[in-house]
Amino acid sequence: MGQAVTAPLSDLNLVRAEIPSALQAALKAPYAAPAQGGCAGFTAEVQALDAALGADLDTPQTAANPSLIERGQAAAGDAIVDAVRSTTEGVIPFRCWVRRLTGAERYAREVQAAITAGTVRRAYLKGLGEAASCAVPAAPRR
């Protein structure tokens, strides 16, 4: 709800979500060799990416990581938040142009690129971990 209310501040590029260092590194070199080799290095990097991105698809269902069905049900409850966000975003006329002129649109694309690079990096590291016969979380859970 807080993000929905502060949407106009983000549009004016006055409020920015900081990109975690693990995602910044992934954005620069998603396929770079891990700084620390072996299973310990893979584990450390995967855990840093998990902290930034949230649970991976192979993580078992828990209260903190609900199933896709439960996430869909929660999304239905988010309709109220979406209505608030729509209302607050409507406060700024010509929102699209304001976002472009303030740099907010460019920064939003940078954040999305960092998330994508982090997701790719995590999958790459888990592939390396599996090839090296590492244990979870350095390799995918089966």
Pick the range with the lowest mean pLDDT from 47-61, 64-78, 127-141. 64-78
- Residue 14 falls inside a structural domain: no
Q: What is the pLDDT of residues 9-67, one digit of tens each?
A: 555 555 677 899 999 999 999 999 998 889 999 999 999 999 999 888 888 877 776 65
Q: What does the DSSP assignment read for 62-96?
A: -SSS--HHHHHHHHHHTHHHHHHHHHHHTTSTTHH
> Could you tell me if residue 8 is inside a domain?
no
Report if residue 69 sits inside a domain. yes
Domain count, the chain: 1
94: left (phi over 0), alpha (psi -120 to 50) or beta: left
State which residues form the domain around 72: 32-131
